[in-house]
Structure 1
Amino acid sequence: MISGDGTSRNGATDLTEESADAVFREACEAVSLDPAGAELLRLGSNAVYRLASSPVIVRIARDPEVLEEMRRTVGVAHWLESENFPATRVVPGVEQPAFIGGRVVTYWRSAQDEIAYGRLDELADLLKRLHRLEEPKALGLPHFDPFAEVRDSLGRLDGVREEDRTFLEERARQLDKEYHRLEFVLPFGMIHGDANIGNLLRGCDGQAVLIDLDGFALAPREWDLVLTALYYDRFGWHTSAEYESFVRHYGFDLVNWPGYPVLADVRELMMMLWLGQQVATSGKSAEEFARRVDTIRADGSRRDWQPF
């Protein structure tokens, strides 16, 4: 049975293109930006708009309860700028995050007019540099607990079949046990949290910069390597040459680590649960979610999974 009316557990209307557009226009008005001609780049965990009138990105969080998290994200951005680390920058002179139209809004400098991604060797170089930094205690970075996120995501599933929900809950319980038996080999410390080629943009000056700083946390560094390994090993989204360049520049091959299959399974589950939260409002997401659940059930190839 399919349930769900597009309303989240806290009563907020789900973030659709229409509702995001209304918040976006109000957010632009609040800081005297012109919304005319803006482009909606992405509608996922955030609605991301690029203005035509100025080099600004406006991000509207899907979850209206992340104000404190976004304060930390803005703090991370300021700290990385003070370290001269190549990362996305907040728009100066704007008090943020802002709470507008029941949503949390942040304003960022646009890296470029057209999206161009960096290379995997550049991603490896930036992660290696990031992992050598010592985080300032003032940031208050949390310890990353993947299964806290998994439990929260399971509670937010809306519009999925009950048999799929039950299957994912059981898989989460099993992976929780396996994850806590892992023996990590890389140092524990600060991570980006969602390190992948999609979060590495090339700026107008040609330099690759990390974006999407929301997931900064303290955790085993393997977490910052698993998406690249997964995209190469299971999904086929990276070539062997690209992945080898990543390994060579970072200095560690996660795929050869004995704990990789479990870590990959956990990350895969988190990706599915994120997608499952959009089933009720997106036919494309619903189709992809069903494909992924069926694949995991049959332990089949992930090569036909589509990027989101």
Structure 2
Amino acid sequence: MACGVSDDDRAGSGAVAFTAETTLAVLREACAVAGLDAAGARLLRFGSNAVYQLAGRPVIVRITADRDALTEMERAVRVARWLGEERYPANRVLPGIAQPLVVGERVVTFWESVQDAEEYATLPELADLLRRLHWLEEPESLGLPYFEPFAKVRASLEHLDGATAADVAFLRERAETLEKEYGRLDFVLPFGMIHGDANIGNVLRDRTGQAVLIDLDGFALAPREWDLILTAIYYDRYGWHSREQYESFVHHYGFDLMNWPGYPVLADVRELMMTLWMGGKAAAEPKAASEFARRVEAIRTGGDRRDWRPF
């Protein structure tokens, strides 16, 4: 369902700025369409999505940055409903609402709130969820795409407005080299359904204490190694997990990605994607610009990544 927004929010180019103020206007209109009350809503996160918690009801509202996400969010809703049918512990869409909604240039979805106070689960619980997910056989009706990392990389390279020409040229060359190396990888885990952004930040503990997988819009078909790479590099390269935590993850999943010969290449590809994502935010956010510069310099010089910051 498509709705409108006030022309007062439009910039001279015809685009609507993605800010806390404009997303609040989208929230109010979307909630009115859905029969919900937006008064007192609290902004939980603001990044690729604006994530709001409604007041007085266990409802989360996610607003994407642009309308290009409509197909992706339609798929996320299908995935969530299917996982519910499978009794898999994941975020549930709010029942009784036709969604996604399109309000202006934004795509809006409504979700059941997992918890009242944010509490992340553990790496062993993430590993258990991934192992269980990877055993599921997805129906064709989900319409999952094939995961194409370098399509994402090339798209990201076109949106580095805050980067210098030298940095863009370096990252382009880096991407071309890694694409060739990636094409020669011999994956050993079965090909199939992945979460696409599997990391400790996307597994919360619900009100009953159960670990629940959230952020379902990246589901795709790919080598399962993609669902293990973030946990590995968060430990190995950035020091965001301890050795004990990583070993517990490996024990519960049953495979150590770091022992696979293709690990360094996959790690470089994922690291590049993380850096390009940061670069896409650099023009508008000084903290992102500083972090982007730090990451590019480390990749260029082979420097230590231990001072990289989660964002």
Moved over 4 A (4+): none
Give the Å deviation of 1:11. 5.6
Q: Closer, same or farther in 2 for the Cα pair 1:58/1:74, shift >3 Å?
A: same
What is the CA-CA distance between 1:64 and the residue it aligns to? 1.9
The within-5 A match list for 1:48-127 is: 48-127=51-130
Residue 131 in 1 paired to residue 130 in 2? no
1:261 aligns with 2:238: no
- In structure 2, what is the Cα distance between the partners aligned to 1:295 and 1:159? 18
| Residues matched between the structures, number | 301
User: Which moves more between the two structures, 237-246 or 26-35?
Assistant: 26-35
Deviations 1:231-266 (A, max 9, x none): 000010111111011000000001111111110110
For residues 38-61 of structure 1, give each alpha carbon's deviation from its aligned partner in whole angstroms, at most 9, with x where no partner exists. 221211111111112211111011
| Residue from 187, 192, 199 that aligns with 2:190 | 187
Unaligned runs of 5+ in 2: 1-9
Amino acid at match of 2:33: A
1:290 corresponds, among 288, 293, 296, to 293
Is 1:232 matched up with 2:235? yes
Aligned mates of 1:216, 1:296 — CA distance in 2: 28
Q: Does the CA-based 8 Å contact 1:35-1:53 persist in structure 2?
A: no
Q: Distance in 1 between matches of 2:158 and 2:14?
A: 14
Correspondent of 1:147 among 138, 145, 150: 150
1:133-185: CA deviation from partner (whole Å, max 9, x where unpaired): 11101111111010011111111222221111111111100100000011001
Structure 1 counterpart of 2:253:
250
Q: What secondary structure, in the 3-state scheme, does the structure 2 residue paired with 1:68 have?
A: helix
Tell me the percent identity. 66
1:162 aligns with 2:185: no
* Structure 1 residue 290: Cα displacement: 1.0
1:5-41 residue CA offsets vs partner (Å, 9 max, x unmatched): xx99x96334222222221222222223222332212
Alpha-carbon separation, structure 1, partners of 2:223 and 2:55: 40
User: How far apart in 2 are the matches of 1:12 and 1:134?
Assistant: 41
Distance 2:16 2:310 in 1: 26
Q: Which runs of 5+ in 1 are unaligned?
A: 1-6
**TM-score normalised per structure 1:** 0.95
Q: Which amino acid aligns with 1:54?
A: R
For 1:269-308, what aligned pairs fall within 5 Å after superposition?
269-308=272-311
Deviates more, 1:21-30 or 1:202-211: 21-30
Give TM-score, length-normalised by structure 2.
0.94
Q: Once structures 1 and 2 are overlaid, which stretch shifts more, 106-115 or 158-167?
A: 158-167
Residue 30 (str. 1) matches residue 30 (str. 2): no
- Rounded Cα–Cα distance in structure 1 between residues aligned with 2:167 and 2:23: 29
Contact kept, 8 Å, 2:66 with 2:105, in 1: the verdict is: no
Deviation at 1:279, TM superposition (A): 1.2
Contact 2:30–2:103 at 8 Å: present in 1 too?
Answer: yes
Q: Tell me how far 1:284 sits from its aligned partner.
A: 1.2
Q: Is the 8 A contact 1:14 1:62 kept in 2?
A: no
